[in-house]
């Protein structure tokens, strides 16, 4: 029988790219997608994908869909606890009959960012996190860090693998660039948000010295990690790490905020969006209040524009043969900016 795969977040930037990658690379898979709404042209583009109508609050629908799946790839809202709990509940029922069952969950390297530490924003932090050597510390991040709430649920479920038969892997990407390949959102997260703030301030910007550094990965390289894990799950989960060791960073390169500001400023001036390409150093207090979408994270601007989040993809390299090969951030930044301006 063909393996059954459930994908959530299939109209998002990452989830849509996952959906398209699996459908393209493995047309033999029986793929289902949990969708709140059907994008235009979806049925003609993916005639063999089963659509399950529901959103992340549709607990019973999600649990049943997971119970009917060999592998679940959970994307979208990384912090949404009810949907994650529903998936785990459904997979436990699945594994009680057809063990093992697999969950691949999208997290993010904001978990290890230093934005809440007592340090000067905009300065470089020498700490680079390894998903092998630092895993105990990663799994022990304090309450209140980005994604820590769902990571705690995942860690508890992973510890019960022998009892439940549910194998779990967490993919923890850095900032992502490149055009997505899915049926919905194709623009990345950071670049459009940064461009929108530059349009408000009139200049590209950074905090302090602008030497804070963050990891980056092209969406196509990130798909290597997803594809490798799904293929391993379909084969029984015997080659990659799962459970308590199933944690995967995906960084392929780094950049400082000042480097990003300098390059973005030049592109936006070229496109006529701003008149001065030279970036500004803004006070931390101003950057802190730039992003007000999530009240529980009042300093989200500091996280996005003034923190360090440096990671190395050691586990994917070791077990999945991960070899990033997509164009660099600097090769695609103008296209990303153009895509962001068009949305």
Distance CA 241, CA 245 (A): 6
Domains held by the chain: number: 1
Domain holding 248: CATH number?
Answer: 3.40.50.720
Q: Quick check: 265 pLDDT over 90?
A: yes
CB 52 within 8 A of CB 9: no
Q: Is residue 41 part of a domain?
A: yes
Report the pLDDT value the prediction gives residue 75, as an integer from 0 to 100: 96
Q: Is residue 87 part of a domain?
A: yes
Report the pLDDT value the prediction gives residue 1, as an integer from 0 to 100: 83
- What backbone torsions phi and psi does residue 102 show, to the nearest 5 degrees? -130, 140
Q: Quick check: 213 pLDDT over 90?
A: yes
Report the pLDDT value the prediction gives residue 295, as an integer from 0 to 100: 80
Q: How confident is the model at residue 258 (pLDDT cuts 50, 70, 90)?
A: very high
- 282-334 pLDDT, tens digit each: 999 999 999 988 788 889 999 999 999 999 999 999 999 999 999 999 999 99
- What backbone torsions phi and psi does residue 143 show, to the nearest 5 degrees? -55, 135
In this prediction, residues 249-271 reach a mean pLDDT of: 98
Q: How many CB atoms lie within 10 A of CB 27?
A: 10
Q: Is residue 38 part of a domain?
A: yes
- CA nearest to 255, candidates 179, 180, 330, 173: 330
Q: Is residue 172 part of a domain?
A: yes
Q: Is residue 25 part of a domain?
A: yes
Burial letters 140-171, b for 16+ CB under 10 A, else e: eeeeeebbbebbeebbebbeebeebbbbbbbb
CB 30 within 8 A of CB 50: yes
What the block records as the tokens of 149 is 């709430």
What percentage of residues in the chain have a pLDDT greater than 90?
Answer: 97
Total length of the chain? 343
Report the pLDDT value the prediction gives residue 297, as an integer from 0 to 100: 83
Q: Quick check: 163 pLDDT over 90?
A: yes
Report the pLDDT value the prediction gives residue 293, as an integer from 0 to 100: 82
What percentage of residues in the chain have a pLDDT greater than 70?
Answer: 100
- 22-57 pLDDT, tens digit each: 999 999 999 999 999 999 999 999 999 999 999 999
Q: Quick check: 214 pLDDT over 90?
A: yes
Report the pLDDT value the prediction gives residue 251, as an integer from 0 to 100: 98
Q: Is residue 54 part of a domain?
A: yes
Q: Give the torsion sign (CA, 204, 119, 135, 313).
A: positive
Report the pLDDT value the prediction gives residue 224, as an integer from 0 to 100: 98
Report the pLDDT value the prediction gives residue 176, as an integer from 0 to 100: 98
- CA nearest to 229, candidates 311, 143, 171: 171
Q: Is residue 268 part of a domain?
A: no
- CA nearest to 258, candidates 244, 237, 279: 279
In this prediction, residues 97-122 reach a mean pLDDT of: 97
Q: Is residue 127 part of a domain?
A: yes
Report the pLDDT value the prediction gives residue 39, as an integer from 0 to 100: 92
Strand ranges (DSSP E) for 75-202?
A: 101-106, 129-130, 166-172, 175-177
- 55-83 pLDDT, tens digit each: 999 999 999 999 999 999 999 899 999 99
Distance CA 292, CA 253 (A): 29
Q: State which residues form the domain around 62.
A: 4-186+216-253+308-327
């Amino acid at each position: 029988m063909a393996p059954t795969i459930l994908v959530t977040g299939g109209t998002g930037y990452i989830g849509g790219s996952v959906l398209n990658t699996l459908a393209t690379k493995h047309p033999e898979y029986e793929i289902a997608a949990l969708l709140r709404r059907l994008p235009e042209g979806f049925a003609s583009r993916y005639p063999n994908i089963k659509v399950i109508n529901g959103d992340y609050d549709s607990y019973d629908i999600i649990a049943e869909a997971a119970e009917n799946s060999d592998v679940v790839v959970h994307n979208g809202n990384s912090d949404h606890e009810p949907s994650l709990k529903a998936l785990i509940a459904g997979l436990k029922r699945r594994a009680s009959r057809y063990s093992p069952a697999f969950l691949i969950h999208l997290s993010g390297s904001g978990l290890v960012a230093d934005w809440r530490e007592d340090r000067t924003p905009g300065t470089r932090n020498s700490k680079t996190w390894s998903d092998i050597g630092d895993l105990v510390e990663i799994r022990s991040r304090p309450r209140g860090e980005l994604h820590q709430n769902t990571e705690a649920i995942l860690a508890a479920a992973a510890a019960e693998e022998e009892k439940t038969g549910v194998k779990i892997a967490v993919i923890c990407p850095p900032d992502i660039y490149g055009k997505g390949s899915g049926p919905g959102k194709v623009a990345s997260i950071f670049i459009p948000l940064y461009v929108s703030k530059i349009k408000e301030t009139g200049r590209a910007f950074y905090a302090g010295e602008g030497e804070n550094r963050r990891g980056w990965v092209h969406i196509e390289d990130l798909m290597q990690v997803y594809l490798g894990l799904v293929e391993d799950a379909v084969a029984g989960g015997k080659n990659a790490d799962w459970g308590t060791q199933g944690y995967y960073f995906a960084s392929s390169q780094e950049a400082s905020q000042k480097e990003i500001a300098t390059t973005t400023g030049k592109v936006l001036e070229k496109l006529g969006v701003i008149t001065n390409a030279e970036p500004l150093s803004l006070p931390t207090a101003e950057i802190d209040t730039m992003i007000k979408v999530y009240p529980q994270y009042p300093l989200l601007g500091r996280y996005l524009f003034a923190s360090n989040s440096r990671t190395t993809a050691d586990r994917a390299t070791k077990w999945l043969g991960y070899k990033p090969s997509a164009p660099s951030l600097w090769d695609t930044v103008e296209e990303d900016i153009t895509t962001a301006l068009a949305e």
